[in-house]
Amino acid sequence: MENEQIEARANRAVELFKQGFNCSQAVFASCADLYGIEDEQLALRLAASFGGGMGRMRLVCGAASGMFMLAGLHNGSTTPHDNEGKMANYQFVQQLAGDFKAKYGSLVCAELLGLAPKGQCNVKLDLDPRPAERTPEYYEKRPCGEMIAEAVRIYLRRVNEHVND
């Protein structure tokens, strides 16, 4: 995939986020069609629960979770005892996670949002399930848009490496 195609998908992911979809939905839906999921509503539903660090528990970043879901579509094993297939997928997920963590210092939503110190996520979980109101101020204070775009870039660049191996 060419750089301009990668950027178009990264921009689409940010656009979805700015429409009000969560980080995971934005990343996953921007690339799910590459794997035959043409129904955007289905892609958005599949990724819906991973926003806000998994159900707004501020655990694994939704953008990272979106990448990991795409990795399952890319090379996830569908055979119960396919240990080599599982290993290949886990290795791919670990590469994606390593790239994201190298860029942002964490994979934890609470840490990325400054709700807990990086590397010390002992945050008291905010289990209030109400999503924050999407206002201009919300978007200004959230680093999510850039992380969403970068998650798409990381994912698609790694896919390119795998295709060219």
- pLDDT for 18-67, tens place per residue? 999 999 999 999 999 999 999 999 999 999 999 999 999 999 999 999 99
Number of domains in the chain: 1
**Can you give the pLDDT at residue 156?**
93
- The beta strands (E) that lie in 105-163 are given as none
Q: What percent of the chain has pLDDT over 70?
A: 92
**Whether pLDDT at 164 is above 80:** no
123 or 122: which leads in pLDDT:
122
Instruction: Please give the model's pTM, rounded to 2 decimal places.
Output: 0.85
Residue 147: how many CB atoms within 10 A of its CB? 25
Distance CA(61)–CA(102), nearest Å, equals 14
**Can you give the pLDDT at residue 139?**
86
What SS3 class is residue 17?
helix
Q: Which domain holds residue 116?
A: 3-164
**Can you give the pLDDT at residue 138?**
84
**Can you give the pLDDT at residue 124?**
47
Q: Which residues pair with 108 in a beta bridge?
A: 60
Q: What's the whole-number average pLDDT of the chain?
A: 90
**Whether pLDDT at 129 is above 70:** no
- Nearest residue to 68 via CA among 84, 91, 45, 85: 91
